[in-house]
């Protein structure tokens, strides 16, 4: 919220990533940026990987967008990230609108 409050909407996604990284460092939030996620198929890792914008606390995927509106495809992307990573929660954040949009997506496939 701090990032959106100061920058507003209209920037490209990498600007928000960089600003959010500053906020994480300032607040001592553990994170990994552009975390590579392996895709498994029939017990075998595929060559194709995905990169989550951020993984925080080793269990939360934070996916950023800077769009006019979020679509079901964006939510499906986070759900797929959660399935392949076994992280407990995904948060989809859209900085592209005048009011910050976000959606919490619990991982229904999560196994402790």
Contacts of 14 (CB under 8 A, 6+ apart): none
- Segments making up each domain of the chain, as ranges: 2-106
Q: Quickly state the pLDDT bin for 96 (edges 50, 70, 90).
A: very high
Q: What is the pLDDT of residue 97?
A: 94
Q: Sorting pLDDT into bands at 50, 70 and 90, what band is 84?
A: confident
pLDDT tens digits for 50-81? 999 999 999 999 999 999 998 899 999 999 99
2-106: CATH topology is Lambda Exonuclease; Chain A (3.90.320)
Alpha-carbon span 73 to 14, nearest angstrom = 20
CA distance 42 to 99: 42
Query: In angstroms, rounded to a whole number, what is the distance separating the alpha carbons of residues 26 and 36?
Result: 24
Supply the DSSP symbol for 110: -
Question: For the segment 18-33, what is each residue's pLDDT rounded down to a tens digit?
Answer: 999 999 999 999 999 9
């Amino acid at each position: 919220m701090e990032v959106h409050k100061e920058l507003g909407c209209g920037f490209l996604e990498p600007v928000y990533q960089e600003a959010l990284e500053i906020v994480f460092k300032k607040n001592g939030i553990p994170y990994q940026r552009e975390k590579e996620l392996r895709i498994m198929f029939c017990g075998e890792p595929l060559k194709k990987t995905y990169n989550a914008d951020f993984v925080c606390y080793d269990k939360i995927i934070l996916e950023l967008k800077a769009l006019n509106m979020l679509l079901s495809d964006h939510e499906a992307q986070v759900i797929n990230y959660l399935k392949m990573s076994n992280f407990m929660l995904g948060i989809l954040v859209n900085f592209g609108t005048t009011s910050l949009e976000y959606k919490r997506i619990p991982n229904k496939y999560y196994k402790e």
